[in-house]
Amino acid sequence: MMPPDVHEKYLHAGEITKKVKESSRALLHEGVTYVDLARHIESSIVELGGTWAFPVNISVNNVTAHYTPTIDDTGVFHRGDYVKVDLGAQVDGYIADTAYTVRVDSPDDDLVNASRDALMAAIDMVRPGVRTNEIGRVIDETIRGYGLKPIENLTGHGLDQYVQHGPPSIPNFDTGHGAPLEEGAVIAIEPFATDGGGRVVDDERCLIFKYLGDRPVRLPLARQVLATIRREYPALPFAQRWLSEVYTRRKTEFALKYLVRSSCVYAFNVLKEVDGGSVSQTEHSMIVTKDGAEVYT
């Protein structure tokens, strides 16, 4: 069973994400810049007594995940854009991970509803003993009911203290076999729906990174940036934008490339839909209880 103080921290992180989802949704209109939305979300998390768990992902249309604005990003929201906002807060490392999709200044349509309904159907399935692929089957069926496809190579995941993507992985279709859910497990379920081919591929851009460990680094600038990363972001992912505020974008990009090549830092490629299809995403974090799920985001 989960100790009461740990439970409390998950709920606290979740409360923060609920408020930030609401305020960011109210801000998300035509003409707003990606940077303004990102700054609002990340600073609100801190103002509410939490810490970010990862840079906010703001992925538009066929961009599916791992996009976070650069410090000088020129991105602006346009009417009808499918904007996926995936945000995370943590309290002492206990993470709330959640996402919603907005069609900017336009009513929700099948694409938006498909991932949301799939998540609700998946949550209804959650209880100890249910296998992850059975959850995937329901997600797949719900999305296909709209004449759309799930993204097959993105999955939900387990959460643990300072672990953003742990076991079990929760597929968005029936993989044929899966681990049974255990009482007390903390999981995030995140269906993605698309009118494209149903798969993501790497884009060449990398805007989110994670510290791996120290290796010998010759370049003085890279050594300096690595020291900042080790001190500020030892466990959870960070944004190129955050380091750019200290080192400028040019120097940050240069140092990060060097650190990735030296295996000190891992780079997450931006992910885009294989056929350029539009994508929606909805995500909640939850604790598996004796007879269901306690959704806390």
Pick the closest to residue 122 from 188, 221, 74, 35 (CA basis).
Answer: 188
Nearer to Co ion, 63 or 217 (CB): 63
96 binds Co ion (CB under 5 A): no
Considering Cα of 124, then 157, then 64, then 85, what sign does the dihedral take? positive
Does residue 188 touch Co ion according to CB under 5 A? yes
Catalytic-residue membership of 66 = no
Active site annotation includes 36: no
Rounded to the nearest whole angstrom, what is the least distance from the CB of residue 75 to Co ion in the complex? 22
At its nearest, how many Å lie between Co ion and the CB of residue 280? Answer: 15
The C-alpha angle with vertex 253 and arms to 216 and 268, in degrees rounded to 5, equals 85
C-alpha separations of 120 from 123, 139, 189, 191, 209 in Å? 5, 9, 10, 10, 31
- Catalytic, 203? Answer no
The residue annotated as part of the active site, out of 42, 86, 140, 174, is: 86
As given in the structure block, the two tokens for residue 156 are 């939900």
Position 286 contacts Co ion (CB under 5 A): no
- What's the rounded Cα separation, in Å, for the pair 291 and 280? 29
Whether 190 sits among the annotated catalytic residues: the reply is yes
Size of the site for Co ion (CB under 5 A): 2
Residue (153 or 262) nearer to Co ion, CB:
153
Q: Do residues 272 and 185 touch, judged by C-beta distance below 8 A?
A: no
245 is catalytic: no
In the range 111-170, which residues lie near Co ion by CB under 5 A? none
Which residue in the block uniquely carries the two structure tokens 């884009």?
203
> Has 78 been annotated as catalytic?
no
Selected binder of Co ion within 15, 73, 81, 97 (CB under 5 A): 97
Chain contacts with Co ion (rule: CB under 5 A): 97, 188
